[in-house]
Structure 1
Amino acid sequence: MLIYERLSDEQREEGLNEILENAQDREAGVIRQVLDRGLEGLTPRQAWVFANNIDPLFEEGCSIKSCTRPAFVGREFCDVCEIKFG
């Protein structure tokens, strides 16, 4: 299951726009397509690019070194550490 599929619509749009800021041309085109038409509008090749090059970017490591939970793209802390330190 893609990380993208576990997110709310708001998180999807926020994450895609965050990733788009630093994306290469190929990935940027796929992101714009997803923002416009959703995953269903992708060709098999575009779907592969999304699954392998874009989707993993939705999760980053939490900034707290001892924490192993993922943080959402563009956020410094995971949800738990955000409550404690954010």
Structure 2
Amino acid sequence: MAQDFFIRESGKLTYGEILERLRAVSEENGFADARHAGIFRQIVAQGLTSMSDKQWSVFRQEMVPLTVERCSIASCTNPTWPGLEHCPTHQSRFGESGIKRHR
């Protein structure tokens, strides 16, 4: 299942990495869900321990999986940062343009 991929891969990240990636999501496009934006602002201002049980549940189940995306190469199973098209392996082969580089 696709959801399993995002939960599994985001589970490998430290909280520092999760917050760094959520900051990137916030700065690049913003959060589609206003609850996510509010929880993120609260974490930045007051820390992780400031969240209620309900906020913690939203953070773990909805926000943390936002910290990874799939590589856009169909056969690739590597995760990448939100907003990046390719994983590090394919980034070196295709670059940011998505056009295959010749070696």
TM score, norm. by length of structure 1 = 0.76
Residues 1:31 and 2:32 are matched in the alignment: no
* CA distance, structure 1, for counterparts of residue 83 and residue 36 of structure 2: 17
Alpha-carbon distance, 1:4 to partner: 5.4
Q: Which residue does 1:53 correspond to in 2? A: 62
Alpha-carbon distance, 1:68 to partner: 0.6
1:1-86 superposed matches below 5 A = 1=11, 3=13, 5=15, 7=17, 10-18=20-28, 21-86=30-95
Q: Secondary structure at the match of 2:77?
A: coil
| Larger Rg, first or second structure (1 or 2) | 2
Taking a change above 3 Å as real, the CA distance of residues 4 and 56 of structure 1, as seen in their structure-2 partners, is: farther
Contact kept, 8 Å, 1:2 with 1:51, in 2: the verdict is no
TM score, norm. by length of structure 2 = 0.66
CA-atom RMSD in angstroms: 2.5
* CA distance, structure 2, for counterparts of residue 27 and residue 82 of structure 1: 29
Contact kept, 8 Å, 1:62 with 1:76, in 2: the verdict is yes
How many pairs does the alignment contain? Answer: 85
Please list every run of 5 or more consecutive structure 2 residues that lacks an aligned counterpart in the other structure.
1-10, 96-103
